[in-house]
Structure 1
Amino acid sequence: MTQSPLPERTTAGAPIRIAGISKDYGDTTVLDAVNLDIRAGEFLTLLGASGSGKSTLLNILAGFIKPNAGRVEVDGVDMSKLPPHKRGLGMVFQHYALFPHMTVAENVAFPLRRQRVAKAEIPARVAEALEMVELGRMGERKPTELSGGQQQRVALARAIVFRPRVLLMDEPLGALDKMLREQLQLEIRRLHKDIGITIVFVTHDQDEALTMSDRIALLREGEIVQLGTPTELYDEPNCRYAAEFVGISNIFRGSVRGAAFIDESHAREYRLPSGHRAEGTSLLVRPERLRVAAAGAVIPAEYDHIPATVEDCIYLGSSRTVQARTASGKLLIVRTDVPRSADGVHIGAQVQMHWGVDDARVLA
């Protein structure tokens, strides 16, 4: 009987080291000496706009693209000279790439057959993988008989059936509608916790990254701008680009002078938060940190404020979004749990947008 060359199931993934990876296409630099250490069993998301280099980095890790410089190590092993099929990495693409003439079970079994796993082992492996993605009763169907979400689950089952220690996912939810995408985000997160493998996930969707990740690497023009947990990227962005890309931002432009931030557009002075940067050109206040009150309301001394005119109130059930514009034309956005009947807060009303001093962040 043929012996399976695959390792036994492990509860932890493999660590990954990306060292000095660069990639050029002619005069265009796509990746510029990127260094990144990914922990064993971690869910790390490469986040960025189109052209930031995130998919190129993933494809270099997979072996589909050869870098101009640098190396990739998985569990201490240099992958540079290994072709994709010998790297032992699972891969899920945005487009499912299923074989339409094969059943679901045959699609999932395909990588096992290519790796010459013993025939007697394959049905159990396939059944296990399909149960993990909640498709245990659909093995005999054809891909064309499944919904888009179910087809993506099949692609996921096929990627994990040979028990890889690393799973690469290139915008796998991009083609799905919003409700299904959110459902699969939670399912992939659950699956990651259950099997404990290392996942490297590519997306341009900030909400997706915040929902699913242990850490996020935010890329811009081939460089990592910030690396941290979702909380760190959202609450402690290290620059204006990170603040604007991750979440909605209210940003005042100006400069730090002494113990104050000078808002140049409105000729106003705000107090600096604790632990502020010595230098900075922007002051950030997230929408849920910003508050709104009627023009005549008394603002507590520990808050800074600016007058504005309400342009819109958007009801969201338990909360709402208020948009108000300042005298200089800047639009401010606040998310509030104030009920719709709150006195003084309605379209056209003069209000005071205010925030606690330590709810702001000074940005480079």
Structure 2
Amino acid sequence: MTKSHRTTPEVPGAPIRISGISKTYKDLTVLDHVDLDIHGGEFLTLLGASGSGKSTLLNILAGFVKPSSGTIEVDGVDMSRLPPHKRGLGMVFQHYALFPHMSVAENVAFPLKRLKVPKAEIAVRVAEALDLVELGRLSNRKPTEISGGQQQRVALARAIVFRPRVLLMDEPLGALDKMLREQLQLEIRKLHKDIGITFVFVTHDQDEALTMSDRIALLQDGKIVQLGTPEELYDAPNCRYAAEFVGVSNLFHGNVRNSTFVDGDHACEFKLPSGHRTEGTSLLIRPEHLRVAPAGAVTNPANDHVFATVEDCIYLGSSRTVQARTGAGALLVARTDVPRSPDGIHVGAQIQMHWEATDARVLA
């Protein structure tokens, strides 16, 4: 998406404070006393599996669902008892909710007409919103006459045309194919930077969250288990669930003893980096930190290692993934930027998988 030429002033994003939000249905707790501060102008993603509570939290923020307890403040104003149409928040749904009998421009103009904005101003603001999403040339077409990706852009334009300070998005890319999703991820990220408002985005896709977000709130069973930047969630997960949900994880199971991790499955002790967690039951090694070599090769004696049998070598163009199983039955995954398999690394080969202590992380 190229940079647009807007004449309207920058719209600052509003900060959001979510305090003690709970939601229960009879004996089912969907959200359990969630506290979350969202900075004005940031891109915050609610990430989690189905049933984690992320969409319910977004719908409570939008006003579509009433919380069992807790409050929602937007820019210091308590929105908890206001209906959706009085909250002044933009919303993009998963299935776009475009009016099929209206043109693209009419769909975008709809919220402005409801607000009784003068016709001349509507025309200017619709043109600016369509320019932002690069759809000005398609303004007279019906939604059925444009692609799914273009329909999503129309939904975005309609959500921002009335200049909200907060934009909410509920898995808006879920119905698109992989290539189009990846393209729109970057375009939405750029749109966020261009208009400067607060984005709250819901997804179950870890790659989507890592690509687009300033910060990610990872939910499990109605609670936020970790809140941080994409780098923090990937490089420094605070628990096993976070490690397994965000990225591919190689996990060894055991316990910490002084400066080593004692692995009960492999009857091994692995060195730990300085400043490691003093208690934990899992040791994490990400695939890019796991190196592979033939079983008899000479490797750095300072590295820890396990022996394994190669089960698969997967060519990915710019990289290659090696999957191997240890004698204790653990499946480990290594990823190398070199697309050619190292000599002696093939299906059925006996190999050693080794890593530096500084690349290991103890998890609760």
* Equivalent in the alignment of 1:84: 84
Amino acid across the alignment from 2:101: H
Q: What is the aligned partner in structure 2 of residue 33 from structure 1?
A: 33
Distance 1:157 1:77 in 2: 26
Consecutive aligned runs of 4 or more in structure 1 exceeding 4 Å deviation: none
Pairs within 5 Å for 1:245-256:
245-256=245-256
Between 1:200-209 and 1:342-351, the stretch displaced more is 342-351
For the pair 1:114 / 2:118, whether they are aligned, the reply is no
Q: For the Cα contact (< 8 Å) 1:18–1:72, is it kept in 2? A: yes
* SS of 1:20 mapped into structure 2: strand
**Is 1:105 paired with 2:126?**
no
Local SS of the residue matching 2:323: strand
2:196 equivalent in structure 1: 196
Distance 1:328 1:21, change over 3 A: same
Question: Which residue of 1 is the match for residue 50 of structure 2?
Answer: 50
Q: Residue 226 in 1 paired to residue 216 in 2?
A: no
Distance 1:215 1:150 in 2: 27
- How far apart, in 2, do the equivalents of 1:243 and 1:277 lie? 15
Relative distance call for 1:271 and 1:32 in structure 2 (3 A) is: same
2:3: which partner in 1? none
One-letter identity of the residue aligned with 1:75 = D
The offset of 1:42, in angstroms, is: 0.3
Quote the Cα distance in structure 2 between the aligned partners of 1:234 and 1:344: 31
Distance in 2 separating the partners of 1:21 and 1:341 = 51
Question: What's the counterpart of residue 316 of structure 2?
Answer: 316
How far is 1:257 from its partner? 1.3
1:280 corresponds to which residue?
280
Offset from partner CA, 1:49-89 (integer Å, 9 cap, x none)? 00000000000000000101100000000001211001000
Contact 2:13/2:196, CA 8 A, preserved across alignment: yes
Contact 1:217 1:228 in 2 (8 A): yes
Structure 1 CA distance for aligned equivalents of residues 342 and 64 of structure 2:
57
**DSSP-derived class of the 1:266 partner:** coil
Instruction: Please say if residues 62 and 168 of structure 2, whose CA atoms lie closer than 8 Å, have aligned partners that are also in contact.
Output: yes
% same residue:
79
* Corresponding residue number in structure 2 for 1:350: 350
Q: What is the TM-score normalised by the length of structure 2?
A: 0.97
Q: Contact between 1:10 and 1:165, CA under 8 Å: does it hold in 2?
A: no
Q: Is the 8 A contact 1:48 1:204 kept in 2?
A: yes
Q: Is the 8 A contact 1:20 1:33 kept in 2?
A: yes
For 1:137, the equivalent position in structure 2 comes to 137
Partners of 2:308 and 2:267 lie apart in 1 by: 14
Q: Deviations over 1:206-240 (max 9, x none)?
A: 00000000000000000000000000000000000
The one-letter code matched in structure 1 to 2:235 is: D
Question: 1:55–1:202: 8 Å Cα contact kept in structure 2?
Answer: yes
User: What's 1:214 paired with?
Assistant: 214
Structure-1 separation of matches of 2:9 and 2:23: 34
Tell me how far apart the structure 2 counterparts of residues 16 and 339 of structure 1 sit (CA, whole Å).
Answer: 45
Q: Residue 224 of structure 1 aligns to a residue in which SS? A: strand
Residue 3 of structure 1 is matched in structure 2 by none
Q: Which runs of 5+ in 1 are unaligned?
A: 1-7
Give the aligned residue type for 2:229: T
Say which SS state the counterpart of residue 314 (structure 2) adopts.
strand
Query: Aligned ranges for residues 140-159 of structure 1 at < 5 Å?
Result: 140-159=140-159
Report SS of the residue matched to 1:172: coil
Q: Which residue of 1 aligns with 2:268?
A: 268
Q: Tell me how large the CA RMSD over aligned residues is.
A: 0.9
- Contact 1:109 1:126 (8 Å CA) reproduced: yes
Q: The residue matched to 1:137 in structure 2 has which SS?
A: helix
User: By how many angstroms is 1:11 displaced?
Assistant: 4.0
Partner of 2:292: 292
